[in-house]
Amino acid sequence: MLEFEDGPRASVPAEIPPVSTHDFYDFEAKYIDSADGVVPAPLTEEQTERVRELAVRAFEAASCEGLVRADFFLLDSGEFVINEINTMPGFTPISMYPRMWQESGVSYPELVDRLIQAALRRPTGLR
């Protein structure tokens, strides 16, 4: 999710496939064995639109600002269940968040600029 002038938008979704050598997606699986994400996720067009819609709703429901990465599980029934809203996702050029936006047509420098512009649009002080 990224805050644009006209409201939040969702990037293309990504998938983190199961790590077959680990029983649990722990620190070692994520950072040492570096499970690669698939961008964009292999979803149908309908599933893609649905998860993007749900991500926007989660962003708005939690009164988020700037950026978040909303993570979902896709159940065997075809329903999406939110797992977490990550308010400060990884932001290196190889992190999942910038990769999803790159695939959505927003380059890394443009992503940084959009975040700065979103911050400048907000009033100062406590909210």
Mean pLDDT, rounded, of the chain: 90
**96: closest CA among 17, 8, 7, 9?**
17
**73: closest CA among 39, 36, 95, 41?**
41
- Structural domains in the chain plus CATH codes: 2-121 (3.30.470.20)
CA distance 121 to 119: 5
Give the pLDDT of residue 34: 57
73, two tokens: 């599980």
Q: Low-confidence residues of the chain, pLDDT below 70?
A: 19-20, 30-35, 127
Rounded to two decimals, the pTM is 0.86
Give the pLDDT of residue 118: 92
Give the pLDDT of residue 95: 87
Give the sign of the dihedral formed by CA 28, CA 59, CA 101, CA 121.
negative
CB neighbour class for 46 (10 Å; exposed up to 12, middle 13-18, buried from 19): exposed
C-alpha distances (whole Å) from 57 to each of 31, 32, 35, 92, 93 are: 30, 33, 28, 26, 26
pLDDT digits (tens, 9 = 90+) for 93-123: 778 999 999 999 999 999 999 999 999 998 8
Give the pLDDT of residue 9: 96
Q: Which residues pair with 70 in a beta bridge?
A: 85
Ramachandran angles phi, psi of 125, nearest 5°: 95, 180
Give the pLDDT of residue 10: 97
